[in-house]
Amino acid sequence: MAKVAIIGSGMGGLTAGNLLAKKGHDVTIFESHFMPGGYTAGFWRKGFYFESGTLSFESSSTMFKAMEQIGIKDKVTFIRHKARWISDDYDECIESYADFKKMLYNAYPDEKENLNRCFKKIDAMYKPIHATGRIPSADVCTGFSEKLDATVKSLWHGLREIKAALPYINMTTSEFLQQFFEKGSGVYNALYKCGYPEMSAGILGGAMNTLFEDYWTVKEGMQAWADALADNFQNLGGTLLMKAPVDMILTKDRKAIGVASKGRLHTADYVVSASDYKRTFLELLDDKTLIPDEMLARIEQSPVSEGIFTVYLGLDMSNAELRKRMKMHSLVLCNEEKNTDVNNADDRRYFEKAGFMAHSPSMENQNLSPEGKSSLMLQLMTNSGWMNNWGNGNRQEYRNLKESAKRALIIKIAKVIPDLESRIVFEEAATPLTYERYTGNSNGASSAWSWNPRKKFFKSPVSTNIETPVKNLYMGSCWATQIGGVPGALAAGYACAKKIK
């Protein structure tokens, strides 16, 4: 039996903790917050439940199988996350990839030939993934015989996908789309919204499959999922310490030997950092000379994914009334001015110009809001350094910028829900700095490292990299993969549990 210290109780830490505790190891999870979940946490305010940040996840076949193996699949209810897409040119409730394509063809008949050329290439990347019903890199929890069977069945599709995606792996989505459409046009914006800004065009097929065929959320709220995993971990004999930030990772003879938390030393045979990669090695590791200079420089310099800005609204409006206006529990508002650029940190009007998503946790579960009321979240990706890093430490300027961004989104969503402003009974907002403070993610990164193919930290966009230069120190969070996400965190948790015998 090994003694294992896990830093962080996000999806990666909870997955690793459950699997290791199930194997009989002595496992302690250290969580700096007062509740588990990390980016997949949620919170209550005045009777309203809100997701902290993460609204949904993909790779359902792998995720569901993992939850079944861990033993909590029946503790939460997974439901499809679908959205209504809105702009000046269209307003459609999208149920599938075919619906999305039909919407664009109907909205932009003059672009038919360009759409044909564009979708010919995207379809070639999409169809192999859709045919197998899974993303191979996320297939971490199947047994050998199942994996072999799946590999044989999907080999041909996998080869087709690689062949189709290879020419675009190092091309950004904007570069890809500008081959067919004017940058900033309505059709360009709709396609650009199907993933992270400037992500690799080679994963457009996977992004389309995720967004329109395999996107899921939790009916009871993401926090219920984290709580179920945390409860199961403790029932297996694991120790979950809340409000217990790790101050240092301890090493001896180039090997991790434990952690220090709140001035107390905790010895361990293995340490799993289910947290931010940069913070792990630049702040927590007690001896940075254990990291090669070249790697240390890459850790310092490699950019992370965009942050998010979220507005939380409690409404004096029933869920039935809100549904009449929204039609679906999520909206994607695609109207965007042509010169809008998430990478322009100096654009004071960014929040007035950008499109965003609206999501109501209570619409699918009335228990997540007070009787007769409903909840609504407004969320968009933003530059973590917007307006001199949100005021450069000036608290009043920070509050002013936060308020102006919040008001800009409320004004825009009020065009879809005309009487919304008069029905708000609770409002708050979170900036990338908020997310950095509560999750520890550098710059409030929403999904680990940058998705830009020219700014990657790991060579492969799909590999899981838990090994570190420090013996018995492993990465067990979404940061062990290039583009992160909930499946990335799960994959890292599984890999750590497999590594620790």
Q: In which band, very low, low, confident or very high, does the pLDDT at 75 lie, cut at 50, 70 and 90?
A: very high
Q: Residue 371 corresponds to which tokens in the numbers above?
A: 């009787």
What are the C-alpha distances in Å from 156 to residues 23, 126, 161, 402, 463?
A: 36, 14, 9, 50, 20
Q: What is the mean pLDDT of residues 32-42?
A: 95
In this predicted structure, the answer to whether residue 435 has a pLDDT above a threshold of 80 is yes
Q: Which pLDDT value is given to residue 501?
A: 87
CATH number of the domain at 3-79+219-302+447-499, please? 3.50.50.60
pTM here is 0.93
Q: Does residue 476 contact residue 12 with C-beta atoms inside 8 Å? A: yes
Neighbouring CB atoms inside 10 A of 310's CB total 25
Angle subtended by helix axes 485-499 and 11-22, to nearest 10: 30
Each residue's pLDDT tens digit, 56-69: 999 999 999 999 99
Residues 135-158 have a mean pLDDT of 45
Q: What's the CA gap between 204 and 194, in Å, rounded? A: 8
Q: Provide the residue ranges of all domains of the chain, joining segments of one domain with +.
A: 3-79+219-302+447-499, 83-214, 306-439
Fold of 306-439: Polyamine Oxidase; Chain A, domain 2 (3.90.660)
